[in-house]
Chains A and B, each alone.
Chain A
């Protein structure tokens, strides 16, 4: 929605994301997604060097504004920013003015007054990033907003799949777990369907988003159907407090019906990839034998997160154009 598309030089058109913000996968084109994934490959190489640093974002200020606890995502962004030589600062709720009753809009405007270039936002409210994008000049990067989107997670998931399978189109990808409350699900559905994957989602009907099939996926509560011949199985976290909303009776029963066991996994293709965005509940959505087994790429996902976030930061900052100007 907020593209900074003035003065496009056609020969540079594939070297930068032509938009101010990354709010979600929903508004990205397949070409933009491919651009991020391709760029992430180059960024991954940086992480293998003895000196893991490039000057791409030198002189840029990036604020990591996290209103929800996060270890993986915040650390991943911070490492990505530092490898690109950006000046970074982390603001977590509890140390900010928000506890004094300041609104999100005021917090953002105050930060904005200090002229950061980018704000990486994690917030419990869906749409918080959209709101900030309307009032801030800084680029807003969505690091997870409520139940809406978590675009960099979906990008790193796609990167991890592509790295192994060399493609996404035509793959059967089963996503199993708490579909209703998952921003990871929404971003992944957008991304995987845009790139031509055959996406299956599975969970108890109590945890289906309304009209889930309108997202272009196959939905089932029969886990064997979802898993059968799958190229990729992605498990989503089951939050322990969901029993209170009567979404399912107990964690034990959830595991009995939907938990990914070695036995169930055998229904999938012989080279299936097991993925999980973390944090995992072992023995709830995934058996430890599966999480720790040879098909698991869960730690590869974490490793790739840094490269993908470097790519997003780099491309939003203007990519090669910015480097030439600097």
Chain B
């Protein structure tokens, strides 16, 4: 079975392609990219002018909550949210209940993902049993069951020694260690970025240094062990500096930034809604200098990936006092509009760099398929509509949870369609492709 995506600006940074091309899909794989490909025997899908065809986006940091917290999200609702956000693959964090520290949990997640049959799901296993920071999890078993990386996300790996061992041991299998970088004692019982706004509102602070200490620790241990270390949801300017220095020294360190950290600052604690629990996340929204540093790192290449840290929570859990609310917001369906609007239309980066950050980069870090439109690769493709006017509506999100601070935001840039394995799994009814051509 052949499908020909005809026209459209094809962007494939891995192959240096950026221009109007056709793309031929054959049996779920990419057959060819080129100009004026022959249409014989293929179903032709016209890609309207102005749309962008790129390798499927990969969100390397999401919480799908299953097993154990299905009131927040399930694998099925999570991947529905993913494809609506333009993601053909997601990597899910192990802080489920029970923790994904063994093959049974990994297999359950993969079975649910296969049943949902939308986006690819790459489970990430725990570093330590129960993520308790004591004994290493059975990492070979996790790898064999399908985990692509390990992390104790939600918390940092408890000790420097355990992180060192995890890097050494996982390095044997070529798995990166993904770290929620944080010095727990400095974080303490903080609930917001330690800055003027938290001080003014009487909220206990989490200094940027708490994160940067964790980044420094990881970079040093990555250097010591020679293994790949990935900084999750980086937010502080001192963290960026540590990553940059590490990279300059040849350390195998990579990092991701979440859209909320390059979009919002801690001013959101005070307005428009004071104490809005939908601006409570960890790491917290930081001050303008940190946000600007994240933007600079995105522009200069220090940042390797954009990842959402999609963290669904039920509204009951968020409808409490600020200091009692759980950390986190949903992000899968707002990532593309925020990224295109804030990074591309602002003139900070061009679209090929965005595709690198949202597809090529994550694929390289996790060593998973995708991130390219090379012939033979699975036909995981995202069609972007960079000029689409998008209005975020929390109530319309596919995610089971609606905890977003971006409700009502108007942004320019969206998703037109999402194709996984050659099959169209999502068409945005509000885009020009919504008229049924797919």
Chain A contact residues, CB within 8 Å of chain B: 1, 26, 103-105, 123, 125-128, 130-131, 134, 145-149, 183, 186, 209-212, 214-215
Between A and B, 29 residue pairs with Cβ closer than 8 Å are: A26-B200, A103-B320, A104-B320, A105-B319, A125-B322, A126-B275, A126-B323, A127-B201, A127-B202, A127-B203, A127-B274, A127-B275, A127-B322, A130-B275, A131-B321, A131-B322, A145-B202, A146-B323, A147-B202, A147-B203, A148-B203, A149-B202, A186-B200, A210-B194, A210-B195, A210-B196, A210-B205, A211-B199, A212-B199
- Number of A-B residue pairs, CB cutoff 8 Å, is 63
A186 and B195 contacting across the interface, CB-CB below 8 Å = no
Complex: how many Å from CA A245 to CA B200?
21
Residue of A whose beta carbon sits closest to that of B188: A245
A125 and B324 contacting across the interface, CB-CB below 8 Å = yes
Q: Does B198 contact A (CB under 8 A)?
A: yes
Residue of A whose beta carbon sits closest to that of B205: A210
Q: Which residues of A contact B198 (CB under 8 A)?
A: 210
Complex: how many Å from CA A148 to CA B198?
9
Q: Which residues of B contact A147 (CB under 8 A)?
A: 202-204
CB within 8 A of A214: which of B194, B196, B204, B322? B196
Residue of A whose beta carbon sits closest to that of B319: A105
Residue of B whose beta carbon sits closest to that of A149: B202
Q: Which residues of B contact A104 (CB under 8 A)?
A: 320-321
Q: Which residues of A contact B203 (CB under 8 A)?
A: 126-127, 146-148
B274 and A130 contacting across the interface, CB-CB below 8 Å = yes
Q: Which of B200, B273, B319, B322 has the most CB of A within 10 A?
A: B200
Complex: how many Å from CA A148 to CA B323?
12
Q: How many residues of B contact A (CB 8 A)?
A: 21
Q: Which residues of B contact A1 (CB under 8 A)?
A: 274
Complex: how many Å from CA A90 to CA B375?
74
Q: Which residues of B contact A126 (CB under 8 A)?
A: 201-203, 275, 322-323
CB within 8 A of B320: which of A105, A145, A183, A209? A105
Known: A127-B203, A127-B275, A146-B202. 13 other contacts (CB 8 A): A1-B274, A26-B200, A125-B323, A126-B201, A126-B322, A127-B274, A148-B202, A186-B200, A210-B196, A210-B199, A210-B205, A212-B199, A215-B200
Interface residue ranges of B260-281 to A (CB < 8 Å): 273-275
Q: What 5 A-B pairs have minimum CB-CB distances, sorted nearest first? A: A127-B275, A148-B202, A147-B202, A125-B321, A126-B202
Residue of A whose beta carbon sits closest to that of B269: A127
Q: Which residues of B contact A146 (CB under 8 A)?
A: 202-203, 323
Complex: how many Å from CA A1 to CA B276?
14
Q: Which residues of A contact B273 (CB under 8 A)?
A: 134
Q: Which residues of B contact A127 (CB under 8 A)?
A: 201-203, 274-275, 321-323
Q: Which residues of A contact B319 (CB under 8 A)?
A: 103, 105
Complex: how many Å from CA A123 to CA B322?
12
| A81 CB, min distance to chain B CBs, angstroms | 25
| B327 CB, min distance to chain A CBs, angstroms | 16
A148 and B201 contacting across the interface, CB-CB below 8 Å = yes
A209 and B199 contacting across the interface, CB-CB below 8 Å = yes
Residue of B whose beta carbon sits closest to that of A103: B320
Residue of B whose beta carbon sits closest to that of A179: B199
Q: Which residues of B contact A149 (CB under 8 A)?
A: 202
B274 and A183 contacting across the interface, CB-CB below 8 Å = no
Q: Mark B178-207, 1 if CB is under 8 A from A, else 0.
A: 000000000000000011101111111100
Q: Which residues of A contact B323 (CB under 8 A)?
A: 125-127, 146
Q: Which residues of A contact B201 (CB under 8 A)?
A: 126-127, 148
Q: Which residues of B contact A131 (CB under 8 A)?
A: 275, 321-322
